[in-house]
Structure 1
């Protein structure tokens, strides 16, 4: 697999500048950033524009840019696999990634031809598998998707990874499904126009795009049976757990069983420790403000953030969490 990346990779920019104090006298009076930052443009790999990743990444980029007096932007991407590739190549400073995709990345399995040198910054919140159909659809069960036109997620997305694993656990022949490989925004538009029978999505709740869709086009979420969750865990990285969509979410009249997977913020192993500590300080300091627009941000918990196995915490993250215990 070819990894995306520009000619100036991030690790070269930050590691190369570590030997020189670029910021002496250049930072604003209110900035508390570490000396390893330079004046380059930094990127948060943040997913599709209609998902929680992009909303969270945009808010975090704005907060860090102001606090650290650096230029940090949220980049629209295909999702977890794409984000991990960007972080691993140095194109992005940090990125959001599902725990299962991150486990594959460090092991060099699944969508990754070889292990990526990525490490975790924090466990942020859990994401939920959505299998969305129109409310008036005749599709009642995951097994009814065979022979239908269903988006299993964009190429290089964590959605695509989970969709394949769950369908396999449910004994649905994936080859029988016509998959246009749409991102969330494209999937929403296609379902609205009855161009597809349904779509898969994995994200925090509520996912803004799906919440907006439910306001104009009544939808249903298909159940994910616990036996399927158990099968997926047994076959892969044991990263999943049974969960439920609550009543009222997307107009649901009753809870709907699904499965959840943790979401991590990841960075390159080459990122300087001080930079990671700066990011974490900003992440926790701004979580209340970010949560006003991105409810999932309120779920960030310092006691739970360290549980990122099998992805190792970055040494800078370890230092940060230890310092908070003092």
Structure 2
């Protein structure tokens, strides 16, 4: 089945499942069903990115409300997180949908398929190609010969950067490549040891917000490769826009967007998955006060987690709260 066909089937299954919900069923007073865990580990990303901030705020809520000891792992990002899930070193993790697709299919950085269950689609990532405002880089081809960070190894940024460059006909070998996470990339761009930085993250990424207050920045448009990536990798990729004013940019910038999913490994008990999803929504306003992307969490969209199927406990939550 094609990736497009699989996405359509996934959407129909989600609708059918929710159609069978009992509309007025009250939500349970104990979302953990008496199985509240003592400890959880959340795999996030670089410390200047949204994954990490989101994970920290969620962990704080879990600890303060329920006494759950929650460890937040700073990681390389999506691929690293999924590998931690597969190894049993994390209970839940943030990942971009394209990396989840590779994990489920056993492709790319994954030698064998990984069993991944979705808790919620949380917000969308936007691909960034960041340069100083006075840079001569206007398009992807202009990167040849320059010092470019393509993201940390095993990160979602690295995955997207490689696909974007390939679609644009710019081999990695034509660049002076650095494999840095967002924190290190921001520091290097600030210090002048990089000419450009690839980053895939939500708006507004804290490290870039801080940098833009010190160094005028510009984003290079990436929308020219979106249609090709959709043909090659499926409808998980879509056209997106970084609005004028974000990071000080003076006009809207067309780019590539991809959903982010909070995922779990096969060992997470259904009751724990249910409790996590309930907490995610119950604390949405509180978390969004520190991580604005959390405000984008929406029950009507959270169930569309293709290519990963909803975890049964998560599905139970969505059925219970459906109007």
Normalised to the residue count of structure 2, the TM-score between the two structures is 0.88
Q: Report the RMSD for the aligned CA atoms in angstroms.
A: 1.4
Q: 1:223 to 1:162 in 2, by over 3 A?
A: same
Q: Which moved more, 1:141-150 or 1:279-288?
A: 141-150
From 53, 56, 63, the equivalent of 2:54 is: 56
- Paired residue for 1:246? 243
Bigger relative CO (Cα 8 Å, ≥ 6 apart) = 2
How many matched pairs?
295
Question: 2:287 maps to what in 1?
Answer: 290
- In structure 2, the residue matched to 1:325 is 322
How big is the shift at 1:37?
A: 4.0
Which whole-Å CA distance do the structure 1 matches of 2:48 and 2:116 have between them? Answer: 26
Q: Secondary structure at the match of 2:98?
A: helix
Instruction: Report SS of the residue matched to 2:240.
Output: strand
Which residue of 135, 138, 141 corresponds with 2:139? 141
SS of corresponding position for 1:262:
strand
TM superposition shift of 1:34 = 3.9
Cα deviations by residue, 1:226-267 (Å, 9 ceiling, x for unpaired): 4x1011111113311111111111111110111100000000
1:179 aligns with 2:177: yes
Q: Does 1:268 align with 2:288?
A: no
- Mapped contact 1:67–1:282 kept (Cα < 8 A): no
1:210 maps to which of 200, 208, 211: 208
**Gap runs ≥5 in structure 2:** 1-28
- Which secondary structure state, in structure 1, belongs to the residue aligned with residue 177 of structure 2? coil
Residue 32 of structure 1 deviates from its aligned partner by 6.0
Q: Residue 190 of structure 1: SS of its match in structure 2? A: helix
Residues 61-72 of structure 1 mapped to structure 2, 5 A cutoff: 61-72=59-70
Residue matched to 1:43: 41
| Residue segments in structure 1 that go unaligned for 5+ positions in a row | 1-29
* 1:314 aligned to which of 301, 311, 316: 311
Pairing 1:123–2:121 present: yes
Any conservation in 1 of the 2:32–2:274 contact (CA below 8 Å)? no
Separation in 1, partners of 2:149, 2:174? 13
Distance 1:156 1:173 in 2: 19
Shift of 1:149: 1.2
> Are the aligned partners of 1:88 and 1:267 in contact in 2 as well (CA < 8 Å)?
no
Q: CA deviation at 1:148?
A: 1.3
8 Å contact 1:80–1:101 — kept in the other structure?
Answer: yes
Select 2:91's aligned residue among 86, 90, 93.
Answer: 93
Contact 1:103 1:237 in 2 (8 A): no
The residue number in structure 2 matching 1:198 is: 196
Q: How does 1:98-109 map to 2 (within 5 A)?
A: 98-109=96-107
